[in-house]
Amino acid sequence: MSDNASVAGGVSLRARIYKQLIITQFIVSIFFTINLLLIATVFSNQVFLSTMRYILFLITLVSDSLFLILSDLLLILYTIYFTMQISLCIIFYLIVCLSVFVTPVTLTAMTLERYVAICLPLRHPELCSLHNTQKCILIILTVSSVPCFIILSTFIAAASSSVYTQHKLCSMEMFVSIPWQNHFKFAVYQFYFFIMSITITFSYVKIMKVAKAASGENKKSTWKGLSTVILHAFQLLLCLIQLWCPFIESAIIKIDLLLYINVRYVDYVTFILAPRCLSPLIYGLRDEKFLNALKYLALCVVVRGRKQVGCPGNRQGRQNEDRQGR
């Protein structure tokens, strides 16, 4: 009878896991579709591709979309108990880890861009030129890749040479199996987010001083920039909380398995998926120029007729893009 109860409990548990997986697919599909529409909007207007803040916004969209697809793929493979070679899992890990860091580092760069635009308006065209934007992207990728290679190095140092040919369930936790690796990873993450938090706080304080001294249109523009910095800080906070989730989950799993599954699912949706969807709120809906371009592109998708609507690609569409740029 106890065996029957155990089997029934296992079936119920699997059913709950698969139900959560289906809901996750729905959420990821919505977020990914929105990101694709925003990416298409950036590419629809040359003005966006020549402005630093929109280019950085594009970097976050690409990074978040890549993270959504790969993390969701790994989640599906893990749920169906699909094993893969460790060397292939390392490649997945590097890409996912890079996308995890690219978003908060880019948010920090976007905050500094707002600081320069509001506090150093005369130097903004020089400091945020297209040439400097290319350098900024290179710096973002370099800074974001450093912790990934550091954490991977600790795994390589502790693993035997035969590990790389083994087939196992691919999970990010497998790279921090030894306690000291986990502590080291947490220390690296905390250091990065501590630096980013200081940068955002510094920008907030400086913009706040300018906002109090400004008047008229400048005051309105400054307070809008200040609210953008606050939203960046909130998104960064969610990313930071994500680092604490494994420690909370490791304590809960010792208490109750069902509670652990529910908590881990909530953590994944709230602190892993949600921060990847705040960028549309910050720049997709609050930026008037970008919002107009987004509505215009969405209308083209709905109508599905280039002759009926001035969609990007025909002469009428290019005229509309030029007017939006001006």
What's the 3-state SS for the chain? CHHHHHHHHHHHHHHHHHHHHHHHHHHHHHHHHHHHHHHHHHHCCCCHHHCHHHHHHHHHHHHHHHHHHHHHHHHHHHHCCCEEEHHHHHHHHHHHHHHHHHHHHHHHHHHHHHHHHHHCCCCHHHHCCHHHHHHHHHHHHHHHHHHHHHHHHHHHHHCCHHHHHCEEECCHHHHHCCHHHHHHHHHHHHHHHHHHHHHHHHHHHHHHHHHHHCCHHHHHHHHHHHHHHHHHHHHHHHHHHHHHHHHHHHHHCCCCHHHHHHHHHHHHHHHHHHHHHHHHHHHHCCCHHHHHHHHHHHHHHHHCCCCCCCCECEHHHHHHHHHHHC
CATH, domain 9-214+221-305, list 1.20.1070.10, 3.40.50.300, 3.40.50.2300, 1.10.287.40: 1.20.1070.10
Q: What residues form DSSP beta bridges with 169? A: 83
pLDDT tens per residue across all 326 residues of the chain:
434 334 445 557 778 788 888 888 998 998 898 889 899 999 988 889 999 999 999 999 999 999 999 989 998 998 888 888 888 898 998 998 899 889 889 989 998 998 998 888 889 999 999 999 999 999 999 999 998 888 888 888 877 777 778 888 888 777 776 777 777 887 888 888 889 889 988 988 888 888 777 766 667 777 777 787 888 788 778 777 776 777 777 778 778 877 888 888 888 888 888 777 777 777 777 788 888 888 888 787 666 544 544 565 444 444 444 454 44
pTM of the entire predicted model: 0.84
85 touches 177 (CB < 8 A): no
